[in-house]
Amino acid sequence: MNTQIESNNKSTRQLMIEVDSEWFESKRNEWDLFTLTAVFRASGWKPNPDRWVDEYKHKVLWKINKQLTRGNNYLIPFDRCEYEFDQSSLFKSLSEQRKPHHIHGIVSIPKDLSHKVWNLEKNMLSPRLLKDFNSIDTLSSVLMEPIPVGRTLDWYVYMMKGKSFNSH
């Protein structure tokens, strides 16, 4: 009964975030989950989500997939991303009004292939993938790290902060 009361008080958006993150967690026996934040070199005064989501999917995710296979197969089973523009660091100077275009995402990697992108012994991104990321001229920085088991909802809530639930 308590669950019924709780679900009646949650917005559709909150429920969708919870269901989505539970689904990701349920796939842990098949996939390793990673957070991914890509910050692009361009900044500006107006958002441009289509451009930067396309850049993320066709360059950043492509580089990850390239590490998984040298063939033409797309081996990333599922990814979810959200574009941000209006949010920026509180430490940024008030004189600098432009904001960076960046993407927060969740990327699933098949368990048998995740060693190609993440070195468990050193707890770091593979040097080859880091080199590939550095070759993307529009990419300023990237942070990719494993999502601890049971913490997908935390990242998902952060990723979706205040955004409507849409698909990119």
Contact 105, 155 (CB under 8 A): no
Is residue 136 one of the residues assigned to a domain? yes
Is residue 166 one of the residues assigned to a domain? no
Is residue 156 one of the residues assigned to a domain? yes
Q: Looking up tokens 């935390």, which residue turns up? A: 154
Is residue 39 one of the residues assigned to a domain? yes
* Per-residue model confidence as pLDDT tens digits over 46-80: 888 999 999 999 999 999 999 999 777 889 998 99
Is residue 106 one of the residues assigned to a domain? yes
Residue 105 CA to residue 36 CA, distance in Å, equals 5
Confidence of residue 43 (pLDDT cuts 50, 70, 90): low
Closest residue by Cα to residue 33 from 22, 45, 48: 22
Confidence of residue 101 (pLDDT cuts 50, 70, 90): confident
* Per-residue model confidence as pLDDT tens digits over 117-159: 999 899 999 999 999 999 999 999 999 999 999 999 999 899 8
Distances in Å between the Cα of 130 and the Cα atoms of 52, 59, 121, 150 are 20, 13, 16, 26
Residue 91 CA to residue 33 CA, distance in Å, equals 30
Contact 77, 155 (CB under 8 A): no
Is residue 167 one of the residues assigned to a domain? no
* Containing structural domain, residue 20: 2-87+97-160
Is residue 168 one of the residues assigned to a domain? no
Neighbouring-strand partners of residue 108: 33
Residue 118, SS3?
Answer: strand
Is residue 18 one of the residues assigned to a domain? yes
CATH number at residue 147: 3.30.70
pLDDT at 87: 59
- Number of compact structural domains in the chain: 1
